[in-house]
Amino acid sequence: MRVYLLLIWTWTRAAARYPASFTLMTIGGCVAAGLDVAVIWIIFHNTTTLGGFDLPEVMFLYGSAGLSFSVADLLFGNADRISQHIKAGTFDGMLIRPVGTFVQVAADRFTPHRAGRALQAAVVLAVALARLDVPATRAWMIPVMVVSGIVISTSIWALGGAAQFLLTDAPEVANAFTYGGATLTQYPLSVYGADLVRGVTYVLPLAFVNWQPGLFVLDRDDPLGLPYWLRFLSPAAAAALALVAVYAWRSGVRRYRSTGS
């Protein structure tokens, strides 16, 4: 962790050398992310509910999912660039350094301006919570779900990176689960088909980023009638997926063969 923090601090200092560019890129990230909120506002301009949830509730789901994903993307999203290192042969150098390869890949060319997306999601979440007035007996779940969501999103980044040891042209395949998963969780899962919801609950646990714990925070019944106890399993789902991701990444590194570049 100490080495990782030193690496990202180095890249942050490099970005700070160009303050105007850094500021504009950060603002640009906020504005780009704000377009997603604009879409939700347009939807609610024509309807009062989405999948049975009103505007503050949808904003809560959007903000919590967006915050988890954007923090994971900021800190570890560069894992999807592993194929570039494999093709260029620069991954060989990472193997001989006394630091984990995942840490090196995640910190490589760290881009702090992506914090703008996390800031935007945090603001949306705060505004939604102010309108919802969640009682303390349920509010304790909010930090739990955000941290669990960060772990789940990071694990998906790692799994996508691990797949690139076998399929070096697979970044877009990985993006279908990373960015695609982030878009999916921005909305109530009740708008999707039952089979898809079961898949992201029992197979790829995206439902535990914000949906299942969010139902507890909002004190809402599960539209699909899934078991009530699932709402408390976000930490367990995050830990299980993290273990799978660690195993997959290490397996990919063990099977890595240098390009000879």
Give tens-digit pLDDT for 133-182: 899 999 999 999 999 999 999 999 899 888 888 876 666 677 777 888 88
Question: How far is the C-alpha of 39 from the C-alpha of 130, rounded, in Å?
Answer: 21
Q: Is 72 contained in some domain?
A: yes
Q: Are 215 and 222 in contact (CB under 8 A)?
A: yes
Q: Are residues 152 and 68 in contact, defined by beta-carbon separation less than 8 angstroms?
A: yes
Q: What DSSP string runs through 111-129?
A: -GGGHHHHHHHHHHHHHHH
d(CA 41, CA 59): 10
Q: Helix 141-163 vs helix 234-254: angle between axes, to the nearest 10 degrees?
A: 20
Collect all residues with Cβ–Cβ distance below 8 Å to 248 and sequence separation of at least 6: 158, 159, 162, 163
Predicted confidence (pLDDT) per residue in 98-147, tens digit: 888 888 888 887 777 777 888 889 999 999 999 998 999 999 999 999 99
- 19-23, 38-42, 141-145, 241-245: which range is least confident on average? 19-23
In percent, the amount of the chain with pLDDT more than 70 equals 96
CB 86 within 8 A of CB 255: no
Q: Which residue has the higher pLDDT, 233 or 85?
A: 233
pLDDT of residue 115: 79
> Residue 111: which of 3, 209, 18 has the closest Cα?
18
Q: Which domain holds residue 149?
A: 2-7+51-254
* Within a domain: 206: yes
Instruction: Give the pLDDT of residue 245.
Output: 94
pLDDT of residue 162: 87
| Integer Cα distance of 251 and 174 in angstroms | 17
Q: Does residue 242 belong to any structural domain of this protein?
A: yes
Structure tokens at 202: 């029992």
Rounded Cα distance, 168 and 87, in Å: 8
Whether pLDDT at 261 is above 60: no
Closest CA relative to residue 77, chosen from 118, 121, 38, 37? 118
- The answer to whether residue 44 sits within a structural domain is no
83 found inside a domain: yes
User: What mean pLDDT comes out for the span 185-198?
Assistant: 91
Whether 36 maps to a domain, the answer reads: no
Kindly state the percentage of the chain with pLDDT values over 90: 41
Residue 237 pLDDT level (bands cut at 50, 70, 90): very high
Q: Is the pLDDT of residue 235 over 90?
A: yes
Q: How many domains does the chain divide into? A: 1
- The answer on pLDDT for 201 being more than 90 is yes
Least confident of 33-37, 69-73, 116-120: 33-37
State the pLDDT confidence band at 83, using cuts at 50, 70 and 90.
Answer: confident
| 132 close to 56: Cβ distance less than 8 angstroms | yes
Rounded CA gap, 130 and 244, in Å? 37
Confirm whether pTM is higher than 0.85: yes
CA torsion sign for 51, 53, 55, 57 is negative
Q: What is the DSSP letter of 100?
A: -
Is residue 31 predicted with pLDDT exceeding 80?
Answer: no
Residue 31: inside a domain: no
> What residues does 50 pair with on adjacent strands?
53
**Cβ pair 251, 159 in contact under 8 A:** no
DSSP secondary structure code for residue 189 in this structure: G
Cβ(76)–Cβ(105) under 8 Å?
A: no
In a domain, 16, yes or no: no
